[in-house]
Structure 1
């Protein structure tokens, strides 16, 4: 789903000009050229591969999805985790998932610092990963009492966990748009919560948000804008609820599990039909 070795190269973990980087890319390209079809989760990844010399006819775009029966909106008033964590009376901004190298946290932390005196707003960061220790260190140094950390929750609590926030932050470093899509976005859609996206305004998530009105997007470094948008959403419960409904609607209509299963079924049926055509032609000629 993510494109390697490009991810490692863009994060400067692998040199583009070094032997390991060149060899990894050559082997990857060899495997793709041996494939009958190449499935990409975003248009940007598909465009990148086409520009890299792969045939447009062999590339399909099939988006990520989320299971709407497994992840669903839990009302704030009945959310046991929200109550257990003491967040009933707060407007909660969530981050849930991997604290990975591909994500920006500086904009989120700066927005939290700008809002530290607003007692109605709280930030809930759930998950773990390479950057979590650094984020926790920054929160401690700046004494940001409006941020709470929690571990990644078990699968049976995923709906309550994602629904504990009134809105979520999703981020992606812009240079990774062609090789990564933040899959956490689709779970947020399923939970019926708005998304604040931090990254490229022309990226996959930003485009979905703009076209469906299920959140807002800011660029990396626009911490004041993010803080202002959070306050605006807190002060407009009806708008927040509308964005949440839009989020769930786009999940059900576009990014549902059923749609994904149907798309993959159609793809496999088409490949099977293509594989049988030469055999059928041979039979017809023999007859």
Structure 2
């Protein structure tokens, strides 16, 4: 009998959120292994709830079911929580009564998705539960000072984390720092689940970079021979960008640079506010060349990412092991150097300490960021290409998509 998977994720393509794209590729990989796969997701965009998606879709054999009243956007925390609870309640009811269910795959999108796994796993003990940890809450909320460590909701979510970790048949963390945080949550338990560390793989659309001369997106933006520094994806409070914005301001007089911020999220407001502020400068004052663009359609991402000369990846100082920005893998796969901002102890510096594929700067070190940016722009085309090829080689050797997808499917199919 083939395995019958139910996958729960509040975001899923055509929504551009990275978590949904990973679930899409994971679902297709499980389908290729002979499993029957059903996805439960929201029928509206997570970042833009005005976007409405078809309620049913057969996606190359994967059955997608988009649930109503499951996403109302990010206008406020209560609105987000209400949408999540509505979505999760529908998932619980469907999961409890789905015939022939053998496996349940959940992640931390939404953060309270563990409720579904715990309840379905308790009431249907024969179902195997797989927990794909994309980020950690309430750790993230505490680190952002949204809640105090002793808040009842924090204690409740920590309890829920321990329950799902105890119930899960497999647990997948994205890096060694995240795996260690999970182990700490289970400290003192006699039996602990095996935690597999499987980093995110580069997405399929990153298969081949485009030369600037052949890139219609870059040409449409009018970037010509500029040195384009890009941050692409979710602009979140956990990915601070203040240091790079300050550096852009100091480099306003250097005509080589363009800073492009593509995507959305709560943190995008800081970028847009800076642009508005610079727009009010007196006539004759040189303004930083900073542009803000929305999320690009999935079919355009290859072009937009290739348009950069240097990609930015930011990790908050207290976010190690809590979140894992996966954009670094896409940048490296596109043969582009990276400039990372964040703590010294992180998975980002694990990569950069072994491979000369970019620069690392601490948050608040504006002078260091300016120095790194100038060094990057000063590279000859030969040195820039060589660094890009090293970046692509890192992906080919350490983060090869096919191998990581195979590790993932072997784990949740019970082959490891």
Scaled by the length of structure 2, what TM-score is found? 0.62
2:409 aligns with one of 249, 265, 278: 265
CA contact (8 A) 2:249 2:288 kept: no
Q: Determine whether 1:111 maps to 2:247.
A: yes
Counterpart residue number, 1:125 = 261
The runs of at least 4 aligned residues of structure 1 exceeding 6 Å deviation read none
CA contact (8 A) 2:237 2:267 kept: yes
1:219 aligns with one of 351, 359, 362: 362
Structure 1 or 2: more helix by fraction: 1
Per-residue deviation at 1:57?
6.2
CA separation in 2, counterparts of 1:179 and 1:214? Answer: 24
Per-residue deviation at 1:272?
5.5
Task: Kindly report which structure 2 residues correspond to 1:1-287, keeping only aligned pairs within 5 A, or say none.
Answer: 1-52=134-185, 53=187, 58-68=194-204, 70-143=206-279, 144-237=287-380, 238-268=382-412, 271=414
CA separation in 2, counterparts of 1:47 and 1:153? Answer: 35
Once the two structures are overlaid, the 10-residue window that deviates more, 231-240 or 74-83, is: 231-240
CA contact (8 A) 2:315 2:342 kept: yes
CA separation in 2, counterparts of 1:126 and 1:147? Answer: 11
Q: Which has the higher contact order (CA 8 A, sep 6+)?
A: 1
Three-state SS of the structure 1 residue aligned to 2:318 is: helix
Counterpart residue number, 1:283 = none
- Unaligned 5+ segments in structure 1 are 274-287
Three-state SS of the structure 1 residue aligned to 2:223 is: coil
- Unaligned 5+ segments in structure 2 are 1-133, 280-286
Three-state SS of the structure 1 residue aligned to 2:405 is: helix
Scaled by the length of structure 1, what TM-score is found? 0.89
CA contact (8 A) 1:170 1:196 kept: yes
CA separation in 2, counterparts of 1:16 and 1:71? Answer: 43
Q: 1:104 to 1:37 in 2, by over 3 A?
A: same
CA contact (8 A) 2:201 2:405 kept: no
CA separation in 1, counterparts of 2:300 and 2:260? Answer: 15
CA separation in 2, counterparts of 1:104 and 1:98? Answer: 11
Per-residue deviation at 1:145?
3.6
CA contact (8 A) 2:166 2:192 kept: no
CA contact (8 A) 2:228 2:260 kept: yes
CA separation in 1, counterparts of 2:321 and 2:396? Answer: 25
Per-residue deviation at 1:156?
0.9
